[in-house]
Structure 1
Amino acid sequence: MNCKVYFLLTTPLIAMLAACGGSSGGSAFTLGDTSDPDPGTISIGFSDAPVDDAKEVVIEVDTITLKRSGDDVVIETFTSSDLDIIDAETFQINLLDYQGSDQAIVIEDLEVPSGTYTSVELTILNDEAVIDDSYVIEVDDTQKILKIPSDDLKLDGFVVDEPEEEGDTQTFTIDFNLRQSMTYNPGQERYILKPNGIRVQDNSGDRTIRGDVDSGLFDTEEDCADKEDPTAGNIIYLYEGTELGIENLADMFDEDNSSTDIPDGAIAPYAVVAVMEDGMDNWAYEFAYLPAGEYTLVFTCDAVEDDPDDYDGLTLPLPEEQIIELSTASASAVCDLPIVDNECS
């Protein structure tokens, strides 16, 4: 990867500029503090969970900053074979091109100091006067501005390990999960992209939960039979943990921005995906890049009006038996729906 990387030091007005290149995409950086551990090599990918209410969601990334105690790493140029760019000062990506377990590697084999990075910050171009920077193409082909508050998405960080063997690379995926992180502002006719719901996951030991879904679930319930489009609003919610209490499982909400009251004990989903047609007359879902652990999976056929910010009080699950506890502690899981007698189909 050819790129331009700055190490921003805590000493005022001092910065070290290093150019990285080479066939493998990384080169060693020599910092003034010889006590630093051996550097690690990382790649970063972008992915998204499927959504059913947009054709394109495009962002233009200006810089990626890896924040850590002492000195930050600021990546200002990008080379990506997945995006077909070389030494680009910015890059555009349609997140909907990389859904589920697909991802676009936007930083490849970059050598950085090992250790704890407290956050990843994406600076995204979203000038409202330049609609072609970051935008959304709706299902009717209308193009709307995509706004990022403060121009930055401040996300969780990660730990870069010292390599055990030469050539070891850690890959981290930024899963945008647009159903949770993107909202629509009808007053200004624009979309808003926020960090809420966006996850950063180390690919070593990550898990997937996926399965097929019988389309008979889409409109068998009275609340769903009157949907204008039976294929809309069929959503699967994933919660961290088990034995959560069905009365506590809530639809999406942002406790800092909800305009509705949130009941005590309400648990927001960890991840949310739409049930999508796979091009072969089959309906399916996939949660990718999950940490290993215990989960509760819930289906509803009536989530058309689920607002990412507001607690909406949706009935979950719907149908009522479509809930199951799953473990990915040792391996990924496959769970086809419907759930019958507390077992996947």
Structure 2
Amino acid sequence: MKHLVLGSLCLFLTACGSDNDSSSTEPPAPTTALVSFSISDAPVDFAESVNVTYSSITLKSDGDNEDDDSGLTIPILDENGNPTTITINLLDYQNGDEKLIISDTEIAIGEYSNLILNTSGCPQNQNGSTDSCWVEDDEGIKPLKTPSNKLKLGAFSVSSEAVQAYTIEFNLRSSLVETAGGASYNLKPHGVRVVDSESVGSIAGMVDVNLLNVGENCATVYEDNTDHGKVVYLYAGTIAEGDIMGDEFDPDTAQEPIADNVVMPFASDTLVYNDELELAMYTYHFAHLPPNTYTVAFSCSAVGDDSVEYNEITIADPAEQVHQVVVAEAQDVIQNFTETF
């Protein structure tokens, strides 16, 4: 009888031990995530359309050659799941609108040294074809070049979250450049950002019509009368004492040296006259902004601000038209510019 009791007790303890072992077993950590990519744009004031054909996205890891076909290439797929290309007019996707190009693709979690947006058929010189990539301005249709049909956008990471969505945001006032005396355009990676679609916010507002002509140089008229110089500039963080809010420039290609205290804009936006509102007004809009403190400043005299050289434009103009704005995750902030007395 004692043997029977002891045997039963051993069975009971063994069963308990098995339960403890199974309860302490944790599921393996995920090694991949589902990732989507969309295209969006911040407006540009000198083009009627900016059309680009895309084929895929390549993620480079450390050790991959930046100039060959190594790395993970994710093709754009048609409705049947076959690799294809897609042509997008960037001006169709502004003020927070975006175009999904790659949906729920399984990607290994980790750090990538470069994200490359691959274009297709973009001309490589001013006389190239306008079949796949082109800009339409007030003079007609012109070739649009991308460097080697690759826009290299820098380091990128995929986290352990199961589903992630990213937006590739073009700031065309920074990335689109006239070339060959205005006969063609270049689309550069400068001014193109990859942001987490789920956490970004925005800053938008109106500009008092009385501010359009009260600054130091607001009466300046550009030679072709298409650049009216009414621009809101956005800077990441606060502007330190002694620093200068810079206009659009590219530090990698500017011909003139730029002082260390000139702060490069995060983005800029020309005013739009919005007559669809109850009270017609001039408005601006910055979308897809990561959570941060920002400085916004209006200039009525930003005539001739190109995306390469620092033009020493007065910002803010009028001088008091500058504000600090905090954007929290997924928050839309209103910041108006109004005349002060």
Aligned mate of 2:268, from 265, 272, 275: 272
Distance 2:267 2:242 in 1: 17
Matched, 1:134 2:129: no
> 2:12 is matched with which residue?
none
CA displacement, residues 293-340 of structure 1 (integer Å, 9 cap, x when unaligned): 111111111222011110111111111111111111464321011264
Distance 1:203 1:133 in 2: 27
Distance 1:243 1:267 in 2: 8
> 2:195 is matched with which residue?
201
> 2:303 is matched with which residue?
304
> 1:235 is matched with which residue?
231
More helix by share: 2
> 1:254 is matched with which residue?
250
CA displacement, residues 268-294 of structure 1 (integer Å, 9 cap, x when unaligned): 111111211335133211111111111
Task: Give the 3 Å change call, closer, same or farther, for CA 216–188 of structure 1 in structure 2.
Answer: closer
Q: Secondary structure at the match of 1:309?
A: coil
> 2:111 is matched with which residue?
116
Distance 1:246 1:238 in 2: 18
Aligned-CA RMSD value: 2.5
Tell me by how many angstroms 1:253 deviates: 1.4
CA displacement, residues 223-264 of structure 1 (integer Å, 9 cap, x when unaligned): 212436598221111111114236421111111211223123
Larger radius of gyration: 2
Kindly indicate whether the alpha-carbon contact (under 8 Å) linking 1:218 and 1:231 is maintained by their aligned counterparts in 2. Answer: no
Greater Cα shift, 40-49 or 270-279: 270-279
Distance 1:150 1:129 in 2: 13
Distance 1:36 1:121 in 2: 28
Kindly indicate whether the alpha-carbon contact (under 8 Å) linking 2:215 and 2:301 is maintained by their aligned counterparts in 1. Answer: no
Kindly indicate whether the alpha-carbon contact (under 8 Å) linking 1:78 and 1:91 is maintained by their aligned counterparts in 2. Answer: no
Kindly indicate whether the alpha-carbon contact (under 8 Å) linking 1:323 and 1:339 is maintained by their aligned counterparts in 2. Answer: no
Tell me by how many angstroms 1:101 deviates: 0.7
Distance 2:232 2:308 in 1: 17
Question: Normalised by the size of structure 1, how large is the TM-score?
Answer: 0.79
Aligned mate of 2:153, from 144, 152, 155: 155
Unaligned 5+ segments in structure 1 are 1-34
Which residue identity is paired with 1:67?
A: K
Question: Normalised by the size of structure 2, how large is the TM-score?
Answer: 0.80
Greater Cα shift, 320-329 or 276-285: 276-285
Unaligned 5+ segments in structure 2 are 1-27, 64-69
Matched, 1:103 2:102: no
Distance 2:103 2:88 in 1: 16
Q: Secondary structure at the match of 1:48?
A: strand
Distance 2:304 2:253 in 1: 17
Q: Secondary structure at the match of 1:144?
A: strand
Kindly indicate whether the alpha-carbon contact (under 8 Å) linking 2:45 and 2:227 is maintained by their aligned counterparts in 1. Answer: no
Distance 2:88 2:195 in 1: 19
Q: Secondary structure at the match of 1:87?
A: coil
Which residue identity is paired with 2:38?
A: G
> 1:321 is matched with which residue?
320
Kindly indicate whether the alpha-carbon contact (under 8 Å) linking 1:50 and 1:276 is maintained by their aligned counterparts in 2. Answer: no
Which residue identity is paired with 1:39?
A: T
Structure 1 runs, 4 residues or longer, greater than 6 Å off: none
Matched, 1:191 2:185: yes
| Correspondence list, 1:1-80, <5 A | 37-69=30-62, 72-79=71-78
Task: Give the 3 Å change call, closer, same or farther, for CA 67–223 of structure 1 in structure 2.
Answer: same
Task: Give the 3 Å change call, closer, same or farther, for CA 233–153 of structure 1 in structure 2.
Answer: same
Q: Secondary structure at the match of 1:179?
A: helix
Distance 2:291 2:29 in 1: 30
Q: Secondary structure at the match of 2:218?
A: helix
Q: Secondary structure at the match of 2:167?
A: strand
Aligned residues: 298
Task: Give the 3 Å change call, closer, same or farther, for CA 309–129 of structure 1 in structure 2.
Answer: closer
